[in-house]
Amino acid sequence: MNPAGVASQLFPTAEEWNLRNAILSQRMAELVVANLPAGASAGVEVGCQQGALTDAMRRLTPLLDWVGVDPVLIAEDRSPGGSRLLPGRANAIGFPDASFDVVLFANVYEHVPPPERAGSITEMFRVLRPGGLIVGQLPNPWFPIEYHSRLPFLGWLPIGLQRRYWRLSPADWEHDFFRVTIRHLTRTARAAGFEVVVVRRFNYPPEVIPGVLRRAARLLERPMRLMPWAWQFVLRRPA
């Protein structure tokens, strides 16, 4: 089998993907609820795509007023659950100062171009109310199977070689991410004025891992506690 064919077996099935999204939604909601400031009422998802996670936050957290922003949107839209979705970027969210109590930022920071990273964190600080949170997830670029492509060790390569290697992936989109770690994120957040409240390692359970890798994932469960698939985090704007 050619490399692209092997990689295609590493992509989740629809059932595995739905379960993965449900687990991500639940974990993000748990972090929101556990750290939510008193009187919180509004949240924004940065990098919302079609708004599935935005809708989940409306169901799973006390905040009923959720909107999403994403640069792929060219006009205001609605998610399947009725959340407002608007054009916007991490460094240009497009709302007034102190508009939100929570910014959801899950699996997005690695897509922010390096020159925009500091400005993106500063922009989130701006739109948060005092005591507000950034809650998110960041894939580990050093994880042996790279998250976006399912290609072994792609994240270990320089960006130019990554893009050449990417051609072996069956993914139907262009390479659009960068290598960035939780240490970089927390350092940038502190420089912008945030307090780092939570950083935790995270691995999905074997049930959401493609079948061809599931047995290996069970065998590697202990090492993956030290080399996780991702980190989850909570950052707080001081009250």
Q: Enumerate domains of the chain plus CATH numbers.
A: 3-236 (3.40.50.150)
Question: In the numeric block, which tokens belong to residue 95?
Answer: 């709302």
> Residue 5 has what pLDDT?
47
Would you say residue 92 has pLDDT above 80?
yes
| Strands (DSSP E) found in the chain | 42-46, 65-70, 77-78, 84-87, 100-106, 128-139, 195-202, 230-236
Cα gap 162→177, rounded to integer Å: 10
Residue predicted with more confidence, 176 or 31: 31
Would you say residue 41 has pLDDT above 70?
yes
Q: What is the pLDDT of residues 154-165, one digit of tens each?
A: 889 999 999 998
pTM of the model: 0.88
Cα gap 46→162, rounded to integer Å: 25
By the 8 A CB rule, do 90 and 61 touch?
no
Sheet of 195-202, strand order: 77-78, 84-87, 65-70, 42-46, 100-106, 128-139, 230-236, 195-202
Q: What share of the chain is helix, strand, coil (3-state, %, to 5)?
A: 40, 25, 35
By the 8 A CB rule, do 137 and 107 touch?
yes
Question: In the numeric block, which tokens belong to residue 218?
Answer: 């069970």
Residue predicted with more confidence, 15 or 140: 140
Mean pLDDT, the chain, integer = 88
Burial of 38 (0-12, 13-18, 19+ CB in 10 A): exposed
Distance of CA 123 to the CA centre of its chain: 17
Would you say residue 124 has pLDDT above 60?
yes
One-letter identity of residue 138: L
Q: What is the DSSP letter of 134?
A: E
Q: How would residue 6 be classed by pLDDT, with cut points 50, 70 and 90?
A: very low
Residue predicted with more confidence, 228 or 84: 84
- Count of Cβ atoms closer than 10 Å to residue 134 Cβ: 24
> Residue 222 has what pLDDT?
60
User: 82: phi > 0 → left, psi -120 to 50 → alpha, else beta; which?
Assistant: left
Nearest of 180, 228, 224, 181 to residue 202 by alpha carbon: 228
Residue predicted with more confidence, 27 or 3: 27
Cα gap 129→141, rounded to integer Å: 31
